[in-house]
Chains A and B, each alone.
Chain A
Amino acid sequence: MAELTYLQAISDGLRLEMRRDKRVYVIGEDVGVYGGAFKVTLGFQEEFGPWRVIDAPLSETAIVGSCTGAALMGMRPVAEMQFADFVSCAWDHLVTIAAKQFYRAGTPIPIVVRLPSGGGFSGGPFHSQNPESSFAHIPGLKCVCPATPEDAKGLLASAIEDPNPVLYFEHKHLYRRIKAEVPEERYTTPIGKARTHREGEDLSVITWGAMVYTADEAADELAKEDVSVEVIDLRSVLPWDREAVLASVRKTSKVLVLHEDTRTGGFGAEIAATIAEEAFESLDAPVKRIASPDAPVPYSPPLEKAYLPQVETVAAGLRELAAY
Chain B
Amino acid sequence: MAIAREAEPVGSLHEVREAGLDREDLLTIYRNMLITRGVEERGHILYKQGKIPGSFYTGRGNEAAAVAVAMAMQPDDVGTPLHRDMGVHITRGLEAWRIFANYMGRADGPARGRDGNVHMADARLGMISMVSHLPAMLPVAVGCALAFRIREEKRVAVGWFGEGSAARGDAHESMNLAGVRRLPVVFICDNNQWAYSTPTHLGFAVEHIADRAEAYGFEGVVVDGTDVLAVYREAKRAVEKAREGGGPTLIECLTLRMEGHAVHDDAFYVPKHMFEEWAKSDPIERFRTWLREHAELSDDEEEELNSEIKKLLNDAIKRAEESPLPDPATVTDGVYAAPEDLDTPHHR
Complex interface residues of chain B between 160 and 216 (CB less than 8 A to chain A): 169-170, 173-174, 176-177, 180-181
Chain A residues whose CB sits within 8 angstroms of the CB of B139 once the complex forms: 61-62, 64-66, 68-69, 93
Chain B residues whose CB sits within 8 angstroms of the CB of A161 once the complex forms: 339
Q: How many Å from the CB of A18 to the closest CB on chain B?
A: 12
Residue B157 at the chain A interface, CB threshold 8 Å: yes
Q: Using known A-B contacts A70-B147, A73-B78, A73-B147, determine if residue A102 contacts B335 with beta carbons closer than 8 Å.
A: yes
Interchain CB contact under 8 A, A103 and B140 = no
Select the stretch in A30-38, A50-58, A179-187, A289-297 that faces chain B: A50-58
How many interface residues does B have (CB within 8 Å)?
51
The answer for the CA separation of A62 and B234 in the assembled complex, in Å, is 26
The answer for the CA separation of A311 and B173 in the assembled complex, in Å, is 43
Complex interface residues of chain A between 50 and 92 (CB less than 8 A to chain B): 51-52, 54, 56-57, 59, 61-62, 64-75, 77, 92
Chain B residues whose CB sits within 8 angstroms of the CB of A93 once the complex forms: 136, 139
Residue A164 at the chain B interface, CB threshold 8 Å: yes
Chain A residues whose CB sits within 8 angstroms of the CB of B284 once the complex forms: none
The answer for the CA separation of A110 and B119 in the assembled complex, in Å, is 21
The answer for the CA separation of A25 and B338 in the assembled complex, in Å, is 22
For A69, the closest partner residue in chain B by CB is B143
Q: Using known A-B contacts A59-B177, A65-B170, A110-B342, determine if residue A97 contacts B145 with beta carbons closer than 8 Å.
A: no
Contact of B140 among A68, A110, A163, A164 (CB under 8 A): A68
Q: How many Å from the CB of A232 to the closest CB on chain B?
A: 23
Chain A residues whose CB sits within 8 angstroms of the CB of B334 once the complex forms: 102-103, 106
Residue A101 at the chain B interface, CB threshold 8 Å: yes
Q: How many Å from the CB of B147 to the closest CB on chain A?
A: 4
For A52, the closest partner residue in chain B by CB is B150
Chain B residues whose CB sits within 8 angstroms of the CB of A65 once the complex forms: 136, 138-140, 142-143, 170, 173-174
Interchain CB contact under 8 A, A97 and B136 = yes
For A89, the closest partner residue in chain B by CB is B169
Q: How many Å from the CB of B345 to the closest CB on chain A?
A: 9
The answer for the CA separation of A254 and B232 in the assembled complex, in Å, is 70
The answer for the CA separation of A291 and B138 in the assembled complex, in Å, is 39
Q: Using known A-B contacts A61-B173, A105-B123, determine if residue A139 contacts B335 with beta carbons closer than 8 Å.
A: yes
For A56, the closest partner residue in chain B by CB is B177
Q: Using known A-B contacts A67-B143, A92-B136, A93-B136, determine if residue A100 contacts B337 with beta carbons closer than 8 Å.
A: no
Q: How many Å from the CB of B176 to the closest CB on chain A?
A: 6
Q: Using known A-B contacts A61-B170, A69-B147, A93-B136, determine if residue A104 contacts B115 with beta carbons closer than 8 Å.
A: yes
Residue B318 at the chain A interface, CB threshold 8 Å: no
Interchain CB contact under 8 A, B140 and A105 = no
Chain B residues whose CB sits within 8 angstroms of the CB of A140 once the complex forms: 335-336
Residue A96 at the chain B interface, CB threshold 8 Å: yes
Q: How many Å from the CB of B169 to the closest CB on chain A?
A: 6
The answer for the CA separation of A101 and B131 in the assembled complex, in Å, is 9
Residue A300 at the chain B interface, CB threshold 8 Å: no
Chain A residues whose CB sits within 8 angstroms of the CB of B111 once the complex forms: 104-105
Interchain CB contact under 8 A, A107 and B148 = no
Residue B341 at the chain A interface, CB threshold 8 Å: yes
The answer for the CA separation of A109 and B341 in the assembled complex, in Å, is 10
Chain B residues at the A interface, C-beta cutoff of 8 Å? 78, 110-112, 114-115, 119-121, 123, 128-129, 131-133, 136-150, 157, 169-170, 173-174, 176-177, 180-181, 334-339, 341-342, 344, 346-348
Query: Across chains A and B, which 9 residue pairs bring their CB atoms closest together, nearest first?
Result: A69-B143, A65-B139, A66-B143, A108-B337, A73-B147, A62-B173, A105-B129, A163-B337, A69-B140
In the complex, given contacts A92-B133, A108-B337, what are 14 additional A-B residue pairs having Cβ atoms less than 8 angstroms apart? A62-B139, A66-B142, A69-B139, A69-B141, A73-B147, A93-B139, A102-B334, A104-B111, A107-B128, A107-B129, A107-B346, A110-B347, A140-B336, A163-B341
